[in-house]
Chains A and B, each alone.
Chain A
């Protein structure tokens, strides 16, 4: 018997279709894997289900009741709980207080019946085989325990269907096994789960059925037992189209960047070398360690062990030291990590260069303007007046300003972490063109990206990360979405 049935669900944001005519059903007592690449429409579908955003068309039936315009409160009351990837527990309250948050047990005077809350929480944990002390502060729990706490909280509220959004991202293998044990137990009690994950081995270990979405469209559904990782990956990726190839191979120069047994926060034992004029891509799932590696290569995070050398010189210390040796990093998440919102375009452009030219403490405006104009022309930055606020530019042009920031320090090793995030299609193509141009000029470029077509467009080599280690290296000609996905989900 299906407890949830979503049919003909469509949703558009502005002009672009996020979901079109989706069918999605969940049976009672099953774990249903919802699969798809980033941007496939999984989150939109879940947001519609939990009443966060309204659907344009389609119907939702849960436990035999139809919800034409569900609100968040309605769906919660109906028994659907969303366990978010970023955990929504309150660190400064005790475990029991968290479980009873907003539904506290009180006496006639409105005071808390603390003992009873703790007792009930203990019973709940015992039932589930969870070993957490209800009286400790949540801040003292491990991430996996917080995850379990959130699940317990949803169950205490009598949830029938739990949505788990990448619940294993922060967990170790033992913790994952523990979590799965509890999920199986709950499944037997008739609870249902929607399990969102990118990791193939997990999906095949825990899920009963699956549904694949791609670009907002329904692709396939079926029993996990009747399929395999390759087939599911193909469904997720599709026969993807790589448009006009601008890539051409280049003569590579000497080794510029070399890592030997390099370990740091989030990655370990990385060995790689990159040559002058080479474009190297890192890829993997979110949290695979590639972004952390980039930050360590720029002195933002401290290395733990191993060797790092740039142009034959061992480097460690602050970012300024790396900048002086010709390393520049365009961080991921432009708005948070690149934009200085109260400053003008020009100021945003020259900030970094000032840090390596402090021997001249005064700003030479004429010189700054000349440099800016030349980079503006070179990168085709569309900006009226360099005194305008950085926020007046489109995402793509902002990103070009930040690329110019590093060209301005004369960087010849460029680290690009997710450079086309939040950038429109036209600007993306321009950024690819620029990357190839830089390489031709002899710069070394490292790109971390989750988008495989991006790698096919620019990279000479592609390194696939899984849980902090390089698991596979592809040459330019070998890169294809299917294989890269297999390695980054560790399906092999």
Chain B
């Protein structure tokens, strides 16, 4: 094999592996232009807003779990609903105990339980993940709705339609004001604290997928389940475990939701989050067919999505209603380029061969 490759080849290889970076750069540049055309200057604070947005941190965190599920060739449609359920529990535990460790524990445990139910039905009962998580998507949200309607407002912390953090609790000030909406400021730069939680999860997941034996088995199951099984991998356990990990990330997301937003509305919060998470994963270069993709891509996928939202909000002529149209278009265009790119390249190569033959 020869090492000297043309610039074009290097670029096309970089595109195929790191398309998510190109996408984000393009989206960021577009955002900078929109802000400029509004008569403002593109500043760090704009980027900090993207980094600290719930679309980046909460959806992004859950998308990490989703990435593992998709790498094994499965899907989880329930995360938007389990976020609502888990946040409800997290807030109720905080309201009744005023304890940060118990609240964190409750969030992680409830999230993991929601994931484990999905995982066991898929792994042990051998049901299709699409159907199982479609079912639990309906169940988790509706259970939360019926609880919020009937529970004592002292526990839910709010009216009959919302769970809200009790502002009279002693740790409220710290969780909401210091952590949830606070920023770490270094000179002229500032980064929201919750962004660090997201980044920490990303780091953990990158280590998990690239440096551990477990991570490799996740890829192996998605790439060729039969070969994986015949190499001794317990494919059932791997398939269950990725749902539990996704549940844990939902738990982390629920704590961020409680701290940043301070409440959760079962009827409307977290709607379509599963779709945004899937989109972030796919934009991040993870193959829906399983076996391929890097966790690092998921950050860029999530950031690109948030930025698109910000662009739309900052153009006065566009309404928020059109947001999903642009998100959908970007998703389709990126995937289109990924799939037809090689086809176009091949036709160029053939044409060149023909030209050479004609000479």
Contact = CB atoms under 8 A, between A and B. Distances in A.
* A and B interact: yes
Interface of A: 298, 300, 318-320, 323, 329, 331, 336-343, 347, 350-352, 354-358, 360-363, 384, 405
B232 A320 contact: yes
Closest 6 CB pairs of A and B: A354-B213, A342-B291, A342-B223, A355-B232, A352-B231, A319-B232
Tell me if B's interface is mostly helix, strand, loop or mixed: helix
A245 B292 CA distance: 45
Contacts of A300: 229-230
A298 B230 CA distance: 9
A343 B213 contact: no
Given A338-B227, A341-B291, A320 B220 contact: no
A339 to B, nearest CB: 6
B342 to A, nearest CB: 16
Q: Which of B214, B224, B231, B291 has the most CB of A within 10 A?
A: B231
Contacts of A343: 216, 219-220, 223
Given A320-B232, A352-B232, A354-B213, 6 more contacts: A319-B232, A336-B224, A342-B223, A352-B231, A355-B217, A362-B211
A351 B231 CA distance: 7
Contacts of A323: 232
Contact of A361 (B213, B226, B231, B291): B213
Given A318-B234, A351-B217, A340 B228 contact: yes
Contacts of A360: 213
B223 A362 contact: no
A415 to B, nearest CB: 11
Contacts of A338: 227, 230-231
B1 interface: yes
A413 to B, nearest CB: 14
Given A340-B224, A342-B219, A342-B291, A356 B232 contact: yes
30 contacts: A300-B230, A318-B232, A318-B234, A319-B230, A320-B232, A331-B230, A336-B227, A337-B227, A338-B227, A339-B224, A340-B227, A340-B231, A340-B291, A341-B291, A342-B222, A342-B292, A343-B220, A347-B219, A351-B216, A351-B217, A351-B228, A352-B232, A354-B217, A355-B217, A355-B232, A356-B232, A357-B213, A362-B213, A363-B211, A363-B212
Given A361-B213, A361-B214, A363-B216, A341 B230 contact: no
A356 B232 CA distance: 9
Interface string B183-217: 00000000000000000000000000001111011
B233 interface: yes
A13 to B, nearest CB: 24
Nearest to A354: B213
B267 to A, nearest CB: 40
Interface in B254-277: none
Contacts of A319: 229-230, 232
B214 A405 contact: no
A341 B290 CA distance: 11
Contacts of A320: 232, 234
B227 to A, nearest CB: 5
A259 to B, nearest CB: 21
A252 B211 CA distance: 42
B3 to A, nearest CB: 11
Contacts of A339: 224, 227
Contacts of A347: 216, 219-220
Contacts of B232: 318-320, 323, 352, 355-356
A336 B227 CA distance: 7
B167 to A, nearest CB: 42
Given A341-B224, A363-B216, A355 B230 contact: no
